[in-house]
Structure formats: structure tokens, C-alpha cells
Structure 1
């Protein structure tokens, strides 16, 4: 597609002498009993035990209501049935197994058992080799580099997740976004009724350069009481990788020019968070209409820019742009 012709319009988861084997609470998360990299624990020293799949201990640590792994405080009824603290409230203080009234009894023995265990990350099947103490597992999983990415398309409530190659194909085939190769861009945003800011669609274009993928967003929204337009770039990868790149944006016309330079934000950060942080080129509608020229009844904006990769110069100790031709 000719970049200059782009137009935006309106639309609303046996015990032996050395190891205890445990299956994580999501059975489907593990396809084998050891991590992908073949790492196993043959250390016979006293201490926390590396856990591989088995059912008995798994069942002890699984809440019978939500089926998630239980973390302190673990509650029990007078008959010894256990459940997690969240579900204790949900079942209105009645044991879901025997229907007896629940008091405030802690199952300290089970909490101690859990404290002695180590478990694979729930993203084991996606390649994560991490094995964490039971009580540290959830924290690791919130920042695990192998956790899937969410779809960066913000024009609909899309719940698709996956790795970057999968999401690139999803954006192209399901959301029909424009795909381009190269690190320079030249877009034209045209809107026949610029007063309809609330229903103005946003534009997403995916760029492939330096072996990575980037999402260019351009949209209209209300900033307080003022209608504005905003352009910003997101990196399809983790934040530490995003910092290796920079980009510039320029909007001009009618003898005027607005410029922005910054680092792309990772798609790990939600589209709304990036937009609400104002980390991009923001143009007030009045200025946008003035730049458009004409009778101010139609918005015509040209957004140009480029992406470059920062490379450290070991002699000068400064970052030099590695520009794409």
C-alpha cells in the first residue's frame, strides 16, 4: 500500500529417596517431567527439593474451589479440609467439602510443606528454565521473559496472546494492519470531520527493521477537556530490548513543524498506559487544523519519522545512530 494514501476514518500446570515430584496446579502447563534445557537436580544435600510432576502433593496444595495453588494463609475447617484465603470469603465461610462452618484455623503444616518446595515456572512449556521456591514462583512469573505478549492492537478488545512471530501474523491476518519493511515512514492522516474526536479511529502500522518489529500508533482522544491527536512508537519485545532503539516523529504543514524524539515503549506496557503517560508526539486539535491549512473543516496531517538503533562506541562512550538505508 502506498503510505501516502493511508486514510483514517471513524468506527466504533512417586516419591523416591532424593526427590518429591509435584505437578503445578495447571496440569496442562507441563508436557514432560524436566525443563526444556534438560536441567534436573541431583543434589542430595538437605534443603528445598526441586519439584517434578506427581499428583499427591499437588492435590494437597490445590484449592478445591478455584483450583489454584494455595499461599498463606491456608485455611482449614474442623474436619481438616483446606482452601485458600480468597475462596474462604467466596464460600461465605462454609467448607465447600463438608459444608461445616469455617473458623479461623490456619493449616500451618501444609504451609510448611509448601515452604520446602521448589517448582518450575508455569511458562516451562514456552522455554523458561527457572525453578523457584514455592512462595517466590508467582513473583517470578509476573516478570518472566518467556511469558506471552498481549496483542498490541488497541482498536478492539483483543485478548489474543502469544510470542512475537505469532502476534505479527495475527496483526496482519486478523486485524489487517499495514506491514512495512524499513525504518523510515511517511504517513498521511486524513479525517473529513475532525470534530468527532471521540469516535475517531486510531491507526496502527507494523514496521520490520533491524530484525525487530515496531508498532506505530496514531490516534485521537480527549486530554482533559481538549481534543488531541497523538503519535507514538512501541517495540514488539521486552523493555530492556526496547531501550536499544530510538525514534523521531515529525508533523508539518502550512510552514509549521512539530517534532518528537524518544525511545519506543515495550508492548509489555499496555497501549492505554503509554497513551496516558503522554510519551509521544501530542498535537492539539486547533494546531492540527492550522497545520492542515484550508478551511479547517478537514484534517490532513503528514507524519514522518525514522527508527534507529543505538550502538555504543567503546572509544567515545557515546551512542551513535546506526541508520537504516
Structure 2
């Protein structure tokens, strides 16, 4: 959500009843440990978490494994290149100036190591050379997902079942079964809300979960509304599905058809790319009817599976 925005409740319309949600502000509150091995692979050294080699390769400032360039002070104390800037070129151990000394011996030792992925406990059992491990972990299919809730800066991460339970229990997100939806979004005075996110809705469809987003934001100086769908899984799986959205009234309508974006892409990234149904405020108020002073938008949609 954009800074300074508010979180709004949306209205889910069924054949039995319509419930109007008020604007609310949502608050909420995982780190995976690095798995290591004592066994060598491919003739190279394995690394045990408590070994002296591990301790030598651990940056004393950020506690992460160091990658070239590894820097050292004249007394031999080492730290990673990122932290060298953070400590303003002053050794955190002895306070001497660091200069531009590379610890080539330690970099050479690192080349001899093979390590398991740090997401081993989540299902990745591959082993990588020391210098390939970091790149793999940035794209590992077993790395945890970030919470897709857009109404707060939520730091919770986990696999999909964990996040579904978290959304339901902690964010009180509405959960629905089925691949079609018919929602009505209401705001009594839309001119008061320049950046707002309505309550997220999660759909269980084809045995997977999809997140429906709806929000108001500024596109340049123009106020807009946007609806879009995100898939709770990786991008290669998201491409197996498509969805359509429709909004309108008074003999006019807007439609959108697209592929749901993976929650690997942040909510803000999807919104800023305008990958969804965009509705100008003037048209949204026209669709709402009346004196155009109240937002009452009906958004219908369908999720489909590509054959």
C-alpha cells in the first residue's frame, strides 16, 4: 500500500445478502536457518556450522557468509564488502583503517567449499559450490513467500499453506471457494481516499489460491481505481491460469483479461505496472450512479485454467 494510505473493507455480494464494510486500518506482525553439511562433495570440502572455517567466512558485522571481495584490516580482521561501507572503512574489531586490502587466501578457501542450499529444511536438497550458492538461493523454488496482504507492511514469510492460515487468522481475510466472483466495493466519500486498499479476498480454485486486490491510487495527477488478481505460487505455475474482470453500469462496461501475477512479485510492483483493470474515478463514479458522490462499483470475474 502506498504510504499514508488506509485499508478499506470490500463488499462481497452473494445471492443471499450484501454486507457493507467500513474502512479500517490493519496491523500485523521468518527466517530460515542455513543448513550445512560436514560431508565433502565432488572432492571439495564440506562445511559444518560450528567449524572454524565457517567462523572465518562469517562476517563479524552482519553475520552472513562473505563473498568476494573479502576485505581485511592490517591486523588480519575480515569483513564483507557491504559492511566495509557501513563501518566507514574502520575495522569493527580493532578500529584500524581498513584500506583496500583483499583477503585472497580466504577467498581461495571459499572456492574449495560445497554447501547445501539454506532452504534445505523447506525441501531443497541440492548442493552448490560456495560462490554459486548465493545466486541459487535468490531464485530457489523452495524459498519462502512474502505475505501478499497489502494493507500493512507485514513481514511474515512461509510456504503457501502457512500464508493461507496467516491471512485467515491474523489478517481476517475473506476466504471463498469457487472460480467466479461478484463483488461490490463501497465508499461513502471516495474523494477522501486518494490511496486506499480494500480488504483482500482469497479464492480457493482448482486446488490453488488466488488473491483479489482492489484499490484507489494516483496515476500522475489522475485518481484511479484498479482491480487485479495474484496467484499464490511461482510464476511458471501462474501462467497455467487466466482471469477476466468486468465492471460497468448504464449500458457501459469495462473488461480485462490477463494472467494472474505470482505473489513473488510484490503488490506494489503489480499495481505500478498497471497489470489489471484500471478505472478512472470519474467513470467509476458514473458507474456508481446517483449523484456521483458515493462509490458503488460492482466487479465480476472468473478464473480459468489453461489447457
- 2:226 is the alignment partner of 1:230: yes
Q: Is the 8 A contact 2:32 2:119 kept in 1?
A: no
Structure possessing the higher radius of gyration over alpha carbons: 1
1:168 counterpart residue number: 164
Unaligned runs of 5+ in 1: 13-25, 35-39, 312-325
TM-fit CA distance, 1:292: 1.5
1:7 counterpart residue number: 20
CA distance in 2, matches of 1:196, 1:167: 32
- 2:299 is the alignment partner of 1:286: no
Listed one character per residue, the Cα deviations across residues 199-238 of structure 1 (whole Å, up to 9, x for unaligned) are 5442311000111000011111111111111110000000
CA distance in 2, matches of 1:75, 1:286: 58
- 2:295 is the alignment partner of 1:299: yes
1:206 counterpart residue number: 202
Task: Provide closer, same or farther for how the CA distance between residues 231 and 115 of structure 1 changes in structure 2, counting only shifts above 3 A.
Answer: same
Alignment of 1:214-225 (within 5 A): 214-225=210-221
TM-fit CA distance, 1:77: 2.0
Alignment of 1:170-185 (within 5 A): 170-185=166-181
TM-fit CA distance, 1:295: 1.3
Task: Provide closer, same or farther for how the CA distance between residues 83 and 188 of structure 1 changes in structure 2, counting only shifts above 3 A.
Answer: same
Listed one character per residue, the Cα deviations across residues 97-137 of structure 1 (whole Å, up to 9, x for unaligned) are 23333232211111111112111111111111121111111
1:29 counterpart residue number: 34
Q: TM-score, normalised by structure 1?
A: 0.83
Higher relative contact order, chain-length normalized (CA < 8 Å, sep 6+) = 2
CA distance in 1, matches of 2:188, 2:140: 45
CA RMSD of aligned residues (A): 2.1
Q: Secondary structure at the match of 1:290?
A: helix
Q: Secondary structure at the match of 1:139?
A: helix
Alignment of 1:1-325 (within 5 A): 3-4=13-14, 5-11=18-24, 28-30=33-35, 33=37, 46=43, 48-311=44-307
TM-fit CA distance, 1:33: 4.2
Q: Secondary structure at the match of 1:166?
A: helix
Listed one character per residue, the Cα deviations across residues 37-62 of structure 1 (whole Å, up to 9, x for unaligned) are xxx7665xx5x444454411101111
Q: TM-score, normalised by structure 2?
A: 0.87
Task: Provide closer, same or farther for how the CA distance between residues 194 and 89 of structure 1 changes in structure 2, counting only shifts above 3 A.
Answer: closer
Q: Is the 8 A contact 2:34 2:117 kept in 1?
A: no
Q: Is the 8 A contact 1:254 1:292 kept in 2?
A: no
CA distance in 2, matches of 1:56, 1:88: 22
